[in-house]
Amino acid sequence: MLSLTFSRLSMVILSLISGNEENLKVALDDKIHEPYRLKLIPEIDDIEKIIDDSEALGHYLSGAGSTIMVVLKADDNTSEDQIKNKLDKLSNSYEVRLLDIDEKGAFINLKINFTKSL
């Protein structure tokens, strides 16, 4: 299972670098955790159909699974509204947020003052 996880991670990175959309969809299809965690999300079958019917490049669960991340092209100006409008018609309430990719990652900024003691 660990080798499958690493191979999928490598495929995600290479797909993003090369722009290979089909490989990205395959790479984001988690066979290890999602089958168990998806069952915890109400209306998941409807949500996945809504995403799959859009121009999204793929989707995956984020964190413990209460967040579904949808990957869109930078110039895709319609999928966000399309997905939001269809989610609004479902029984439960869902929030859609447009996020940018964090290109810096985590970092620590320290200021250390050294004093000389005698």
pLDDT at residue 51, rounded to an integer: 94
What is the phi/psi pair of residue 91, to 5°? -65, -40
pLDDT at residue 48, rounded to an integer: 92
Task: Name which residue leads in pLDDT, 3 or 14.
Answer: 14
pLDDT tens for residues 36-67? 777 788 899 999 999 999 999 999 888 766 78
pLDDT at residue 85, rounded to an integer: 96
On whether the CB atoms of residues 68 and 57 are closer than 8 A, the answer is no
| Residues near 23 by beta carbon (within 8 Å), at least 6 away in sequence | 11, 14, 15
On whether the CB atoms of residues 96 and 88 are closer than 8 A, the answer is no
Identify which of 48, 46, 60 has the alpha carbon closest to the alpha carbon of residue 11: 60
The Cα 86–Cα 13 span in angstroms is: 30
